[in-house]
Homo-oligomer: A and B are copies of this chain.
Amino acid sequence: MTCFRLLLLAALLGLAGPSVAARVDTVAIASAAMKKTYRAAVVLPASYAKNKKASYPVLYLLHGAYGHFSDWLTQTPNKQLVQSLADQHNLIIVMPEGETFSFYLDSPVNPTSQFETYLTKEVISAIDGSYRTIRDRKGRIITGLSMGGHGALYLSARHPDLYSAAGSMSGALDLMTINRKLSPADAAQRAKLWAPILGSEIENPAVFASNSVVNLVDQMHRNGLPLIIDCGVDDGLIDINREVHRRLVYNHTPHDYTERPGAHTWEYWQNALPYRCCFSSRC
């Protein structure tokens, strides 16, 4: 759908593509809350090594369900995507761990799944302690895909003091399932996934509702953070994203919202991420 032809032409013409010089660190970040250490990937822009006194903004980039911290470096068709965006926009890009189905929440039922605390306290503290970052909400942006899109909007809605902007790509922005038309098999499978994180939805629908981004729109309105949300029209999550957009239009919350061709795929996210960086620091 996008103009790969032009890129190709540029290549054939011998025009230099962006030369990638970014450095990729894999770091271990301990969680006292979860008594466990997870790895994270940190991409430093090429300029980082040269500008020894400069402090850099940080983009926190979250992965989706069934994924891990390294996804954004290994799953995109262009394996240098994140590095080239770091270079282009002079951003540090941090990809922390969120496990296969944590939804970046502090689980009320499971002390070993406390990813809200991990991301908002432990990861930020470790990154700010190890790199020349702008140690302030003004220097932090958070975004992610699918479960990570929910995570980014959820954490920024609840911690507006920590981030200056937030985004979601193909976000799974509603945790509730009892208001959807699922087959019994799908409903059972979802219930099984959620049980160790939020318990039983049938017994505690309010827990699922109150932790869903779709119900945080008034909070987001009060926070006033710049927001950027997108979804592919062939993505099974498009209705949820449209709903969030309409609620944000309804309550007059400023936000960028985009629908694009595409589905829940890495091709889509590879295409979507650069606009995100435009949004963050302007092309």
| Interface set of A (CB-CB < 8 Å, partner B) | 1-3, 5-7, 9-10, 13-15, 47, 51, 54-57, 85, 88, 90, 134, 138-139, 141, 164-165, 176, 179-181, 205, 209, 218, 221-222, 226, 233, 239, 243, 245-247, 249-261, 274-275, 277-283
Contacts A13-B51, A15-B47 known; list 9 others, CB within 8 Å: A5-B138, A6-B141, A7-B282, A243-B246, A243-B247, A255-B261, A258-B258, A277-B283, A278-B278
Q: Is the beta-carbon distance between A283 and B88 smaller than 8 angstroms?
A: yes
By the criterion CB–CB under 8 Å, are A221 and B179 in contact?
yes
Residue of B nearest to A273 (CB): B283
Contact A3 B226 (CB under 8 A): yes
B249 adjacent to A222 (CB under 8 Å): no
Centre residue among A13, A47, A226 by max chain B CB count within 10 A: A13
Can you list 6 contacts pairing A with B, beta carbon distance less than 8 Å? Answer: A3-B280, A6-B139, A6-B281, A179-B221, A233-B249, A274-B283
A179 touches B246 (CB 8 A): no
B259 touches A250 (CB 8 A): no
Interface of A, secondary structure class, is mixed
Q: Which of B14, B222, B257, B280 contacts A6 (CB 8 A)?
A: B280
Partner of A275, one of B9, B54, B278: B278
Contacts of A181 in B (CB 8 A): 252
Give Cα A2 to B246, complex, Å.
21
A249 to B283, CA, bound (A): 28
Within 8 Å CB of A85, what residues of B?
283
**Which B residues lie within 8 Å of A275 (CB)?**
275, 278, 283
CB neighbours (8 Å) of A57 from chain B are 6, 9-10
Q: How far is the CA of A249 from the CA of B179 in the complex (A)?
A: 10
- Judging by beta carbons under 8 Å apart, are B261 and A90 in contact? no
- Distance in angstroms between the alpha carbons of A100 and B14 in the assembled complex: 40
A256-B260 contact, Cβ under 8 Å, with A280-B3, A283-B278 = yes
Residues of chain B within 8 A (CB-CB) of A274 are 278, 282-283
A247 to chain B, nearest CB (A): 8
Closest to A15 in B: B90
How long is the Cα–Cα vector from A279 to B7 in the complex, in angstroms?
A: 11
